[in-house]
Amino acid sequence: MAKGDNRLKVLYVVDIFKKNSKQKSLDDKNRFLSANTLIQILHDEYELNADRKSIYSYIQSMEQYGFEFDKSKKGYYLVSCPDDENKKYAFETAELKMIADALTLSHFYPVKKTRQMIKKLEHLMPENGNSLQNNAIFLENVNKSENPSVVYNIDSVCQAIDEDKQIIFHYYNIKPELNSGNNRFITEYREENGQPKKYLQSPYSLIWKNDGYYLLTYDSAKKDMCTFRVDRMCDVIVLNGKDNDIENKPRDGHSFFSKINITEYSNTAFDMFGGEKTDISLRVKKNLAKVIVDKFGKNVSIYKDKFDDDYFLCSTKVQKSNMFYSWVSGFGNDIQITYPEDVRQDYIEYLKNILNGYQNLNELEEKSKK
């Protein structure tokens, strides 16, 4: 290089940043180059003098050209170059590990498909990245779906939504088989007239909640929204004019879904069981504030409790259901329903029914001993 040539000064600054980005990782706290450090390197390695104003001018010119920097009080770190599109959009090791963890812990995604996906993700790893196979060792301990068509279900649903078409599919439940001498859980299709029932639905939104994948649809016959577990759907077909046994129509329910905030619905539905949406007030122990934020977000209204400084009140919307009541009961007296009165009384009846169930069980056990 032609050391001492001031015309090349900005190019030398580019080289310094590139060398530093190859040697330092984004996780390295010492990766940033300050203006003083750049001045020193220019002097020691390239026999050039520069001041802080010039350094900031060079960095500003680089940004205008397309260079991207991570900035802090310590200085600058070169994240990507305009001539390096692959690097600019490449995954970082931490991002790939996060995706692999999400796949591993997702109940709806089958074990075999998870292993295949993790292998594909490994091909995107940086050269100095570690293996993602460590994620796979936890698969045997995760309750995963055994439905191999989940991926294709999602693809068909997305196609139907994009093309404004209806879908048909079969849907199954899980039931215990106890009469074979080999007691186990088995899958069973929902039937209609002795045959697996065909569900005709207009799909609108896929929601990932509580490690499950759910499909929100509009049912024309019920004139209402329905929720399905994607991993329990089978034989999903997009109606495109080739299915002679079912009339081919575009999606129904546009007006219905235009009035629904999908994000709000997801936040207020407990385990996607739905239910009647209502305003409620809860009396909550202060040490459970994080629980409230995790469940409802930070936009809930909160108030001071007039009886006890260890509690606070919060108001929000929920979809009233037994799943909501079971969530409340899990915290004992640390979360209490205070409003409205009908919901509070409904919750009390819910608790009474649980208690009666245990009393009946005790009576049955006592009778069996006689």
Query: CA Rg, the chain, in Å?
Result: 30
For the CA atoms of 223, 256, 190, 175, the dihedral, rounded to the nearest 10 degrees, stands at -130
* Residue partners of 273: CB distance under 8 A and separation at least 6: 227, 319, 321, 322, 323
Q: Are 254 and 223 in contact (CB under 8 A)?
A: no
* Residue partners of 118: CB distance under 8 A and separation at least 6: 100, 103, 104, 132, 133, 135, 136
Dihedral angle sign, alpha carbons of residues 330, 336, 339, 345: positive
- pLDDT given at position 262: 81
- Whole-angstrom Cα distance, residue 67 to residue 79? 8
Query: Hey, where are the domains in the chain?
Result: 6-88, 93-141, 150-260, 276-357
Burial category of 325 from C-beta neighbours within 10 Å (exposed 0-12, middle 13-18, buried 19 and up):
buried
For the CA atoms of 154, 159, 160, 162, the dihedral, rounded to the nearest 10 degrees, stands at 120
Q: Are 77 and 32 in contact (CB under 8 A)?
A: yes
- pLDDT given at position 91: 76
Question: If one looks up domain 276-357 in CATH, what number appears?
Answer: 3.30.70.240
pLDDT, averaged in runs of 10, over the chain (370 residues): 72 92 80 94 90 93 90 91 66 81 79 84 71 60 75 90 93 77 77 88 88 88 90 90 64 90 73 72 93 81 91 89 90 95 94 93 84
Please provide the DSSP assignment of 39-65 as one string. HHHHHHHH-----HHHHHHHHHHHHHH
Per the structure block, which two tokens stand in for 87?
């690097």
Bin 328: left if φ > 0, else alpha if -120 < ψ < 50, else beta.
alpha
- pLDDT given at position 315: 92
Bin 84: left if φ > 0, else alpha if -120 < ψ < 50, else beta.
beta
Per the structure block, which two tokens stand in for 23?
């040697």
* Fold of the 6-88 domain: Arc Repressor Mutant, subunit A (1.10.10)
Classify each residue of 141-178 as buried b or exposed e, where b means 16 or more C-beta atoms within 10 Å of its C-beta: eeebbebebbeebbebbeebbeeebbbbbbbbeeeeee
Beta bridge partners of 225: 218
- Whole-angstrom Cα distance, residue 203 to residue 152? 15
* CB-facing half-sphere around the CA of 285: CA atoms within 13 A: 8
Per the structure block, which two tokens stand in for 105?
């812990």
